[in-house]
Amino acid sequence: MNKLLLLCCLMAACSPTTNKTPEHIKHVIVIGIDGFSASGLKKAKAPVLDSLLRVGAYSTTVRTVLPTVSSPNWASMLQGAGPEQHGITSNDWELNDHTLEPVAFDSSNRFPSIFTIFRSQRPNEEAGAIYNWEGFGRLFDSSLVNLSQHYETQDATVAAYANYLIEKKPVLSWVHLDEVDGAGHHFGHGTKGYFDGILKADSCIGVIIDAIRKAGMENNTMVMIVADHGGIGAGHGGTDLEELTVPVIYFGAGIKNGYQIQQQIYQYDAAATIAFALQLETPYEWIGRPVKAAFKGFEEPPLVWKATKQTEAPVIYPEAKYYARAGGLFIDSLPRVEITTAEEKTSGTIYFTTDGSNPSSTSAKYEGPFQLGSTSVVKAAVIENGNPGKIATAYFRVLKSGRKNGVRYNFYKGDNWKKLPAFSSLKPSGNWTDYEFQLDLEKPEIAQQGNKGGFGLIAESWLEIDKEGEYQFYTRSDDGSKLYINGQLVVDNDGDHGMEEKSGKIKLTKGRHAIKIEYFDGGGGLWLDAYYKGPGLEKQIIPADKLFF
């Protein structure tokens, strides 16, 4: 048994003898990893985290609060409630500059946090927070802790926190690590750079565990590893499950070994779980509940709603990359579709469709790679014991060249825009053609020519409609976009925001109609693509073979 596993087993050795409150827990440590998604835990090579899954209790289905950005989510973990209660609704929140008042106040005019109730009930005991992201420190009243300190780098943060554990042996402490989030923004979530960021955080956790041992706290300390949000592409802030789903790991004194928690966990359950471990009374205004099932001697809560656990969606290749959905554009070639299960151990069978309908046990059974002859929406699900799992969707577009298909793009250098500019007053500084309304990230980068103020685009084409009726159009963009048909605004997705999808409807006759999308990037992540659905058409990326110069 390696040193890490031995330490974790020692920490987990003591178990409560009562089913009312946990015993033997004298210290609670919270390790917060910014931007750490559930899929990141599953896919990254992280030996320390993998070891903790074997000796602790964990969940990979924790649901964040909205919006999926740092301040509302860290605040919800600290304060045992959601943005509707504590009032921290965005990263722009400041104590003296916000729009939504909390429903209850502590002495610093904030919603009561775990540090508030700790200090009121344990006035003479040590508590502290050390954080890599400076904004974390404004989310709680620093006068309630013995130490509140920001460090510019993750390495410095971890070193200072390790020393703090050894020297002060705090009863309650929180450390925040920021480099995983930085890697997601810089390299893109799900990339090698992102997984390298998780590996670095993994080594930091090893340093902290070593400090727990050096402090002599290994037999009476419970540790929680938490995350604020995941991400998609190079950003977050939307409602994609990659952004909304994060892991939690508990290990140490009083915690079950190798246990996957079944109950649904929410961000605001973190504070209530800390309070439960330290036997603190919680405010009525908190909505979080302690995750008792993580502790020895406690069972899962009875389910009021007998929900069926869904098998994870299978993976359709070519798989999703950056913001682009699974599938792709195939010019003068036909796509070969391969599907695999997302989970190694499953007794279910993959069923699929190619017309955009949801698969069932009467759909085609996947028996191996197959070829598509035309533009198709492929959906697949694992059906196990008669229960359909989550559905995977891939968009395959097939195009023959030489038929005057395409989209014209005009490029405009930006000046830190927060919304779409009046393009009619601007002169384009570049242009190109492409086959569809899906942003080729290399072309704006080339056109920028070193400009750092963002940029804007106007993309225009003619859309061929085969059947008269009502059509719904969608843009998915980071940042803002607007879609026009025949000069009429149909989709308004404007504003400085992370990935968001919005839609609108319009009635169209058979034939070709002018379609235009305006888009801008204000900095950070960037993306644009467009979808439609209508009579006889499931929702899909607007096909390249329906767009003409």
pLDDT exceeds 90 at position 396: yes
Sorted by where each begins, the domain ranges of the chain are: 3-14+22-294, 315-399, 407-548
pLDDT in tens, 284-340: 999 999 999 999 999 999 876 766 678 889 999 999 988 899 999 999 999 999 999
| pLDDT of 11 | 57
Helix segments in 70-133, DSSP class H? 70-79, 83-86, 114-121
Residues listed for the chain = 549
Give 3 or 150, the one with higher predicted confidence. Answer: 150
pLDDT in tens, 425-434: 999 999 999 9
Does the structural domain 407-548 have CATH classification 3.40.50.2300?
no
Share of the chain above pLDDT 70, in %: 96
| pLDDT of 15 | 42
Which residue in 161, 155, 208 sits closest to 179, CA to CA?
A: 155
Beta strands in 292-438 (DSSP E): 315-317, 326-331, 336-340, 349-353, 364-365, 370-371, 376-384, 387-388, 392-399, 407-413, 430-434
Token pair for residue 463? 């859309």
| pLDDT of 531 | 98
Does the structural domain 315-399 have CATH classification 2.60.40?
yes
Give 419 or 238, the one with higher predicted confidence. Answer: 419
| pLDDT of 7 | 59
Which string of DSSP letters, residue by residue, matches 153-219?
SHHHHHHHHHHHHHHH--SEEEEEE-HHHHHHHHH-TTSHHHHHHHHHHHHHHHHHHHHHHHTT-TT
Mention the CATH class of domain 3-14+22-294.
Answer: alpha beta
What pLDDT band is residue 131 in, cutting at 50, 70 and 90? very high
Give the pLDDT mean for 170-181. 98
| pLDDT of 380 | 97
Residues 522/477, Cβ–Cβ less than 8 Å: no
Average pLDDT, the chain: 94
pLDDT in tens, 500-526: 999 999 999 999 999 999 999 998 789
- The helix (H) or strand (E) run that includes residue 448 is helix 442-448
| pLDDT of 9 | 53
Token pair for residue 233? 């592409």
pLDDT exceeds 80 at position 17: no
Q: Do domains 3-14+22-294 and 407-548 have the same CATH topology?
A: no
